[in-house]
Chain A
Amino acid sequence: MSGSLLAARDVRMAFGGVVALDGASIEVRPGCVTGLIGRNGSGKSTLFNCLTGFLKPTAGVVELDGRDITGRSPHEVMRAGVARTFQTPRIDFQTTGRQAVLCGLYPRVEHGFLASLLGLPRATREERVLQRHADEVVERMQMQAWSASKVHELSMGRLRTVEVARAIAADARFMLLDEPAAGIGRDEIRVLADEIRGLADRGIGVLLVEHNFSLIRMLCDDVTVLDTGIVIFRGTPDEARRNDLVRQLYLGAAAAGEAA
């Protein structure tokens, strides 16, 4: 099919004798939020890393807009429009939120290293443009009040916002979020949910790896459930909730986890 689409097809990933993914497929469409859920060790992170170029699948294909991008390096995948966040935010804690956003703008840079060294006019001009873009992103993500604070002073929720802002700064068309709600409070989850919905409304295709099923229900248009490296279900969140296999293998465990 044509049009914008990020997809993994029959991806198999083996680490030595351990098979983490066994023919898993997933599609992420622009303007939609796709959920990816499963128990710990079910292969969610492996699939996530295959999609973003951090892992090269043993077999199978990763496609972006119909083009084969299997085995491309992470920075190439990023430059092609697929951005990611990390489960544990990887930020230099001595920088500010705005500086983190500036770092995310790197793929937009057109001037070379030498032009930077010599301080050529086009390098200075582009730097001014980047600074302006950073302000725009800060404004769009409503970070103005605290974007000048050092990152180590921020709450986990704001840290996640910084991560998302950094990832979308360079106009990513696809956004892969690795457990963005892990370790943050209820109010902050609500803010985050609005942000994620906002990404999809702007036409970005979002993949959400998440343990919090209520967040999945709130946000996702469809959901893929992984177990032991195999896709056991694909459909809407409500269908997933009614599906016996999903309830037995995943939701039961999650419900037990929530009760504890």
Chain B
Amino acid sequence: MTWRTSRRRNTWIMLAVAVVACAVAPWKPVWLDTVVLTGILALISLSAGLSFGQAGILSMAQGTFAAIGAYATAVCTTRLGLPAWAGLPLAIALPAVLAWVLARMVTRMPELATALATLALATLLEIVARNWDAVTGGYVGIAGIPPVEGFAVGWRFNILVWTFVVLAVLVYENLMNSAHGRALNIVRHDRTRAMADGVAVAPLLSAMLATSGAMAGAGGWLYAHYITYMSPQSLDTVASISALLMAVVGGAGYILGPVVGTFLLSLLGKLLPAQEAQGLFYGGALILILVMAPEGLLGWIHRRFEKKAAREPAAVAGTAAEPERPARTLETAP
């Protein structure tokens, strides 16, 4: 069994990338900061990829789920004086529960209505965060969030971040290798078909969105302890939209698509000139990518390899003999 046919292919690739990221980043402080933030965004983007790419639920609340995780741990550590690790279970469970309830209510609606409902929830919770002074600190936010015990040093925290990313990819890939993952793909493609296959659509989507919310919540936990400050502007609707964009640019239907997209857009942000013109270049690059590769960068690469395989008959025979692979996962290394 080679890495290309392994059932944990994406996780192995992710592990390799994470090891490189952790080894190279500490050389320069600027790199380290970029790589840590890229990892945190990748986690939130992965959660968007799971819900949009696999189940077709366009959630505009992924940043909000992360914010809930961040606020949960911020409140636990600064107001209650608990250690950062005590905030983690809450930072994962709270957004998961909220996402479950949200999915129960909105997934019966048509796709666009679902997207708007998640946006409405995000806006609503942002207002709550602004006004609930006693808990969230209102506009001022919560400052002085302590670092994670044992991971206070930059390079160590970086390893922690990428461990979370690898774990998220592992869980994600486990799901997509299972019947529940296939059922999510059927639901994305055609709900009537899914019902005829015996899929209970609403509970399945709720479980999926809860998982996605938990991933984003973990991202929020890392964010809060890295930045040490949390306010209503920290992980807002803009963060939700950019998490979705990163997933779509990389290839939302592919497990590693969101990670690739996050790397690409982070890199773009660093390489582009002056702050004022950045939006222009950023937007232009985005349009270019989406026009040239509507299925994202990995979709584009996948297609090229399929074409190449079609030109080489021997390669086709080779793929036909391989064991069944789940649809639309990573076919080749980025």
Contact = CB atoms under 8 A, between A and B. Distances in A.
A83 B196 CA distance: 7
Contact of A99 (B183, B211, B324): B324
A207 B67 CA distance: 53
Given A75-B195, A75-B198, A102 B182 contact: yes
Given A94-B328, A117-B174, A106 B207 contact: no
Contact of A127 (B171, B177, B327): B177
Interface in A133-149: 134, 148
Interface stretch (B24-32, B140-148, B186-194, B273-281): B186-194
A131 B201 CA distance: 23
Contacts of A83: 196
Contact of B197 (A54, A111, A113, A166): A166
A218 interface: no
B104 interface: no
A5 interface: no
Interface string B217-233: 00000000000000000
B197 A106 contact: yes
A161 interface: no
Interface residues of B, number: 33
A78 B195 contact: yes
Interface in B23-53: none
Contacts, number: 97
B180 A109 contact: yes
B82 interface: no
B200 interface: yes
Contact of A52 (B170, B186, B196): B196
B175 interface: yes
Contact of B320 (A117, A126, A148): A148
Contacts of A52: 196
Interface in A56-82: 73-75, 78-79
B301 interface: no
Given A109-B180, A118-B174, A92 B190 contact: yes
A102 B324 CA distance: 10
A113 B180 contact: yes
A116 B178 contact: yes
B186 A92 contact: yes
B160 interface: no
A106 B179 CA distance: 6
Q: Name the residue among A90, A96, A118 with the largest chain B CB count within 10 angstroms.
A: A90
Size category of the binding interface on chain A: 35 or more
A193 interface: no
A127 B179 contact: yes
Q: Name the residue among A84, A98, A116 with the largest chain B CB count within 10 angstroms.
A: A116
B324 A98 contact: yes
A78 B324 contact: no
A249 interface: no
Interface in B298-334: 320, 324, 327-328
Contacts of B183: 103, 106
A119 B175 CA distance: 8
Given A75-B198, A78-B197, A106-B199, A117 B211 contact: yes
B185 interface: yes
A74 B196 contact: yes
A107 interface: yes
A103 B170 contact: no
A55 interface: no
Contacts of A111: 178
B95 interface: no
Contacts of B193: 86, 90-91
Given A117-B211, A119-B174, 11 more contacts: A75-B198, A78-B197, A79-B198, A86-B192, A103-B197, A114-B207, A116-B175, A116-B179, A119-B170, A119-B171, A170-B198
Interface of B: 170-171, 174-175, 177-183, 185-186, 189-190, 192-201, 204, 207-208, 211, 320, 324, 327-328
Which 8 A-B pairs have CB atoms at the shortest separation, nearest pair first? A116-B178, A107-B198, A74-B195, A78-B198, A119-B174, A113-B207, A90-B193, A92-B189
22 contacts: A54-B195, A78-B195, A86-B192, A86-B196, A90-B193, A90-B196, A95-B327, A99-B327, A103-B197, A106-B179, A106-B198, A106-B199, A109-B179, A109-B180, A113-B208, A114-B207, A117-B171, A117-B211, A118-B171, A123-B178, A166-B197, A170-B198
